[in-house]
Amino acid sequence: MALTKLGKYIEQCELKNTDDKYGEDSVVGISTQKMMISTKADLMDVKLTSYKLVPPKHFAYVPDTSRRGDKMSLCYNNTEQTYIVSSISIVFYVNNTKKLNPEYLFMYYNRPEFDRYSRFNSWGSARETFDWTDMCDIDIDLPPIDIQQKYVDVYNTMLANQKSYERGLDDLKLVCDAYIEDLRRKIPCEPIGPYIEEFDKRNEIGLKLDSVRGIATSKEFIDTKANMDGVSLDNYKIVEPNMIAYISDTSRRGDKMSLAFNQTEESYLVSSISTVIKTDESKLLPQYLCLFFNRTEFDRYARFNSWGSARETFDWTEMCDVKIPIPEYNIQKSIVDIYKTYNTRKSVNERLKTQIKDICPILIKGSIEEAMEAENVHTAV
């Protein structure tokens, strides 16, 4: 088994949405996690006729690698639907499926070795790109098609198990949402103001840089993106366990509010512009409150009730005016327990997805070794 150029087996697809058949609901972005994702682009007044089609069993990638860290944005359409991507993307397909299984190629792309290779072989001045010529120039070991299929089957079995687990996760989330909707119909909503207080404790205990967190619109704490060189942490606010922090400025965050709940046993530090909330846990569990904060309805409410000229803010007064159903403690706890189970299973699901991705290099290596062993046996005979 010898190395061969990938370009012998792949071909570009230049089909475009010229007849405007596909609308905004067909537009996808291409992630560095090798997935099609909901586009983050503002499509208002954008003509989609120049967008490229990604039919089933086609690949798409963004050749610009300079702003994506060490990973390539690439995806494979393993559905039966056709999607569309920006015209800057390159769309291609396997033109010889008797020699190269498209799903095997996708496993090949899912290896960190490919990300490193594509980044190292990207060229340019203002921005570096891994263009079509570079893609075709890849040297690849191709086992016989039956061996490729054998390892693809292993991969697909693991993927099917993960997807099955994920569907159960969605069902659990649906139960939780339905429970909340039922409460909203049965219990009068009341302002949360009497049950919360603003917690304004500064970093007097000397927490270090590793405690600093940013607050994301995805409703979670993240590693800070701020340049912390020479920044004093004395004025940073402490977010103790079971506390909520949010950024009142909503004008530059689209339709979502930056808010997070500290569900760990550690204390975090957030910027002094953030607001930290402590709840009266005998009357209002912070986890229960966060269930409402995590809903898209709350994001819309907060954006609508933000005020200002140069920048719009959802201030403390507005936060205290938020109305939710507040049932007795035991009911709140039962809903929170369901949600905790959901979050635990969600975490397990993310680990499963990581493990499946991590096994791609092992499967590719195993297929090559099996092909070489079979070749050696055949030669010996």
pLDDT at 380: 59
pTM for the full predicted model: 0.72
Which residues lie across from 269 on neighbouring strands? 212, 238
Q: Say yes or no: 121 and 229 in one domain.
A: no
Mean model confidence pLDDT for the chain: 90
Residue 264 sits in the same domain as residue 196: yes
Domain boundary among 288, 305, 326: 326
Residue finishing a domain among 278, 309, 326: 326
Locate 100 and state its tokens. Answer: 């190269």
Does any domain span residue 61?
yes
What's the rounded mean pLDDT across residues 266-274?
Answer: 93
pLDDT at 90: 96
Task: Give the DSSP per-residue string, 127-161.
Answer: S-B--HHHHHT-EEE---HHHHHHHHHHHHHHHHH
With respect to residue 314, please indicate whether it lies within any of the assigned structural domains: yes
Q: Is residue 345 one of the residues assigned to a domain?
A: no
The answer to whether residues 108 and 197 belong to one domain is no
Claim to verify: residue 33 and residue 95 sit in the same structural domain: yes
Tally of CB atoms within 10 A around 185: 7
Number of helices and strands in the chain (H, E): 8, 20
pLDDT tens digit string along 329-379?
Answer: 999 999 899 888 888 888 898 899 889 989 999 999 999 999 888 877 666
Assess whether 205 and 320 both reside in one domain: yes
Q: Are residues 134 and 200 in the same domain?
A: no
Same domain, 253 and 123: no
Query: Is there a single domain that holds both residue 119 and residue 200?
Result: no
Residue 292 and residue 232 in one domain: yes
Residue 150 forms part of a structural domain: no
Same domain? For 192 and 95 the reply is: no
- 88 three-state secondary structure: coil
- Answer with the one of 86, 115, 142 that is the final residue of a domain: 142
**Mean pLDDT across the stretch 105-121?**
94
> Is 233 domain-assigned?
yes
Q: Tens of pLDDT along 20-56?
A: 999 989 999 999 999 999 887 777 778 899 999 999 9
What local confidence, expressed as pLDDT, does residue 342 receive? 86
Per-residue pLDDT tens over the stretch 205-261: 888 888 999 999 989 999 888 888 888 899 999 999 999 999 998 877 667 899 999
Residue 374 lies in a domain: no
State whether residue 260 is helix, strand or coil.
strand
* 100 inside domain: yes
Is 117 a residue whose pLDDT tops 80? Answer: yes
Select from 3, 9, 6, 1 the least CA-distant residue to 98.
9
357 within domain boundaries: no
CATH number at residue 282: 3.90.220.20
**Residue 240: phi, psi to the nearest 5?**
-75, 165
Q: What is the pLDDT of residue 357?
A: 87
Q: Do 212 and 288 sit in the same domain of this protein?
A: yes
Question: Given this model, what pLDDT does residue 339 score?
Answer: 85
Does residue 371 contact residue 144 with C-beta atoms inside 8 Å?
yes
Domains in the chain, number: 2
Q: Which domain holds residue 217?
A: 188-326
What H or E segment, with its residue span, contains residue 221?
strand 221-223
My answer on whether 11 and 125 are in the same domain is yes
